[in-house]
Amino acid sequence: MATSGSSRRYVYVVSAIAAIAGLLFGFDTGIISGALLFIKQQFTITTVMQELIVSSVLFGAMIGSLLSGRLTDHFGRKRLMLVISVLFILGTVIATSAHHVQSILIGRLFIGLAIGMGSYTAPLYIAEVAPREWRGGLVSLNQLAITIGILSSYLINYAFTNYHGSWRFMFGIGIIPAVLLSIGMLFLPESPRWLVANNRTLEARKILMYLRQTRDVKQELAEIKNSLQVKQAGFKEIFLPWIRPVLFLGAMMGLIQQVSGINTIIYYAPSIFELAGFHDTSSTILATVGIGVVNVLATIFAIKYLDKWGRRPLLLVGLTGMTLSLLGLSIAFHHTDASTLRYVAIGCTFFYIICFAFSLGAILWLVVSEIFPLAVRATAMGVAVFSCWFWNFMVSSTFLSLLKALGPTNTFFLYAALCFFSLIFCYYKVPETKGVSLEQIEINIRKRLPLRYIGQQPITEGDRKLVPGFEQV
């Protein structure tokens, strides 16, 4: 397979444009933390309404992720990405020009639909245009784009802190990447894999020649055709006894990533800092910018070391650090006097974000793209992505009420306990998939190895027969 310099550049440009959807995912979920402070002032709204404003995006994302599998197959990746960019633009215009809270909710719902569809379609599209050998790194680049989106949202929040009605500007800036995504997608090619699946092999061949900058694409085209011989299974098949354990693992990973409480901090950090004693809006937002920076840096660290040290060590160390920092937060809110509380709270929050970003942040998206057998990958991945958005919705829409009902000490203790249980689950159930081929993982699943070991065991000749279509590839 050709990996010439110009081919490499071209695939990077294509992936970077598609990853704008990840950037918008991060931007539109992160911007709410600052905007909420101003929306609260302008509309005098209840806690439940605040939670609804935050979670309307997540509700839309849940629906979007459920629809994505079918829509991407029907319309193709490129056309759906264009629809997604239009939804982003539409939602942003509605939310930005809102004169009632209800319009903000509707605008954010549209944005959510786009985010949910994008969180499934963008990595899929990137994986399908990328040469096999760079696929892993490019999947994690999408997580990097998410964190860069979150950081940009925090910077914008900070820049507009002192402007009256600035929540409109905060939402409105999102129009720029959304327009860039739609213009960019107009020029990008359709996924060759989708074209072959839709009997448009000639077009697929031309696009592959362009993507790889070589006329010699026969072998890759044959591989695509071969892999398409594995019939894609529907919803019922993902519940077959041999697939159920990995489906459970995928859904659990989505749950764990969210009940670890990550978005109580990403979405509500300024509110937490206010609670810990920072009273002027600009310093709480500035501290939040710091969170965005360490989130990006620790994600770069993860991308660098995931393939060297493996997923499990990073995951287990990360979850231990997250449990400890949430415990620290809980204790600080209980025992520390007001002057030191704010510093302990900042320290624990930063440490927590670092630990999340080098572990669960990147690993969730990586694991769900690795563990599912080819025939059920599309549907099962949809279930795992849906689980992530569902639990995100549950956590974000109850956090402020929990804080009110239980107080910060008990709320953070609850999240520390959930992190601890997640740590135990991951210790016993999450496989090490570093350097293992996806076919080998599938063989191990078919052999019904316990989840923790599906990333091990070398392939034997007998094993090969267990995966239909494997030998032709």
Cβ at position 202, least distance to ligand BGC in Å: 38
Closest CB to ligand BGC among residues 15, 444: 15
Distance CA 315, CA 426 (A): 8
- Establish if 152 lies at the interface with ligand BGC (CB under 6 A): no
Separation CA 79–CA 318 (nearest Å): 38
Binding to ligand BGC (CB under 6 A): which residues in 60-89?
A: none
Q: Minimum distance from CB of 236 to ligand BGC (Å)?
A: 28
Gyration radius of the chain over CA positions: 22
- Minimum CB separation of residue 394 from ligand BGC in Å reads 12
Name, in order, each residue with C-beta under 8 angstroms of 218's C-beta and a sequence gap of 6 or more.
Answer: none
From candidates 61, 129, 170, 262, binder to ligand BGC by CB under 6 A: 262
Task: Give the residue carrying structure tokens 């982003």.
Answer: 88
User: Shortest gap between Cβ of 399 and ligand BGC (angstroms)?
Assistant: 13
Site for ligand BGC in 359-388 (CB under 6 A): 361, 364, 388
Segment contacting ligand BGC (CB under 6 A): 61-69, 142-150, 162-170, 368-376?
142-150
Q: How far is CA 371 from CA 107, 306, 454, in A?
A: 35, 16, 8
Among the listed residues 18, 54, 150, 151, the single contact to ligand BGC using CB under 6 A: 150
Q: Binding of ligand BGC at residue 263 (CB under 6 A)?
A: yes
What's at 64, amino acid-wise? G
Q: Is 260 in the site for ligand BGC (CB under 6 A)?
A: no
Q: Name which of 388 and 418 has its Cβ closer to ligand BGC.
A: 388
**Total of chain residues touching ligand BGC, rule CB under 6 A:** 14
CB 59 within 8 A of CB 112: yes
Q: Which of 146, 230, 302, 384 binds ligand BGC (CB under 6 A)?
A: 146
Piece in contact with ligand BGC (CB under 6 A), picked from 70-78, 144-152, 238-246, 321-329:
144-152
Q: Per CB under 6 A, does 121 bind ligand BGC?
A: no
Taking the complex as a whole, the smallest distance from the CB of residue 94 to ligand BGC amounts, in Å, to 23
Q: Which residue has the tokens 């600080």?
A: 332
Q: Give min distance, CB of 6 to ligand BGC, in A.
A: 32
Binding segment (CB under 6 A) for ligand BGC, from list 140-148, 235-243, 419-427, 438-446: 140-148
Q: Per CB under 6 A, does 295 bind ligand BGC?
A: yes
Determine, following the binding rule CB under 6 A, whether residue 266 of this chain makes contact with ligand BGC: yes
Segment interacting with ligand BGC, rule: CB under 6 A, options 98-106, 139-147, 450-458, 465-473: 139-147
- Phi first, then psi, for residue 99 (nearest 5°) are -110, -5
Chain centroid to CA 200: 31
Query: Which of 98, 364 has the CB closer to ligand BGC?
Result: 364
Asked if 110 and 94 touch (Cβ cutoff 8 Å), the reply is yes
CA distance 74 to 469: 24
Does residue 147 interact with ligand BGC by CB under 6 A? yes
Given the complex with ligand BGC, which of 116 and 373 has the nearer CB atom?
116
Nearest alpha-carbon partner for 103 in 137, 64, 56, 161: 56
Query: Where would I find the beta strands (DSSP E) of 11-146?
Result: none
Q: How far is C-alpha 459 from the chain's CA centre?
A: 31
Would you state the structure tokens that stand for residue 61, as one six-digit string?
């994302």
SS (H, E, C) 441-464: HHHHHHCCCCHHHCCCCCCCHHHH
d(CA 329, CA 202): 59
444 contributes a contact to ligand BGC by CB under 6 A: no
- Alpha-carbon dihedral 227, 228, 233, 239, rounded to 10 degrees: 10
Report in angstroms how near the CB of residue 45 gets to ligand BGC at its nearest: 23
143 lines the binding site for ligand BGC (CB under 6 A): yes
Task: State how far the Cα of 35 lies from the Cα of 284, in Å rounded to an integer.
Answer: 13
Part in contact with ligand BGC (CB under 6 A); list of ranges 62-70, 146-154, 171-179, 301-309: 146-154
Minimum CB distance to ligand BGC, residue 368 (Å):
11
Our finding on whether 29 is near ligand BGC (CB under 6 A) is yes
Q: Please, which residue, 104 or 353, has the CB nearer to ligand BGC?
A: 353
Q: Cα separation of 131 and 329, whole Å?
A: 44
In the bound complex, what is the minimum distance in angstroms from residue 302's beta carbon to ligand BGC? 11
Round to whole Å and give the CA distance between 192 and 204.
4
Residue 323 interacting with ligand BGC (CB under 6 A) = no
Q: Which of 182, 349, 369, 392 binds ligand BGC (CB under 6 A)?
A: 392
Report the b/e string of 112-151 with b at 16+ CB within 10 A. bbbbbbbbbbbbbbbbbbbbeebbbebbbbbbbbbbbbbb
Query: Does residue 142 belong to the site contacting ligand BGC (CB under 6 A)?
Result: no
- The CB-of-384 to ligand BGC minimum distance in angstroms stands at 11
C-alpha 133/C-alpha 1 separation (Å) is 9
How far, CA to CA in Å, does 106 sit from each of 54, 178, 363, 471? 12, 18, 32, 50
- Residues at the contact surface with ligand BGC, assessed by CB under 6 A: 29, 143, 146-147, 150, 257, 262-263, 266, 295, 361, 364, 388, 392
